[in-house]
Amino acid sequence: MKNSISADERIAKMPFASVYPHYVAKVEKKGRTIDELHQVISWLTPQTTPP
């Protein structure tokens, strides 16, 4: 699938809050848990939780 630059930019500009519900629905559909989703998100992002 060939993506145009404008489509890539559009996706990159989306706030995470707008795509998070889609991730939750997808992991639940695949029989995974939200905790597993959070673990993957933490692997992929440099975000750390405060102590």
Q: What is the pLDDT of residues 33-49, one digit of tens each?
A: 999 999 998 888 876 66
User: What CA–CA distance (Å, rounded) separates 34 from 49?
Assistant: 17
Where in the sequence is the domain holding 22, given as residue range(s)? 15-44
**5 lies in some domain:** no
**4 lies in some domain:** no
User: What CA–CA distance (Å, rounded) separates 22 from 11?
Assistant: 14
**37 lies in some domain:** yes
Query: DSSP assignment, residue 12?
Result: H
Per-residue pLDDT reduced to its tens digit, 11-33: 888 888 888 999 999 999 999 99
The number of folded domains in the chain is: 1
pTM value?
0.64
**26 lies in some domain:** yes
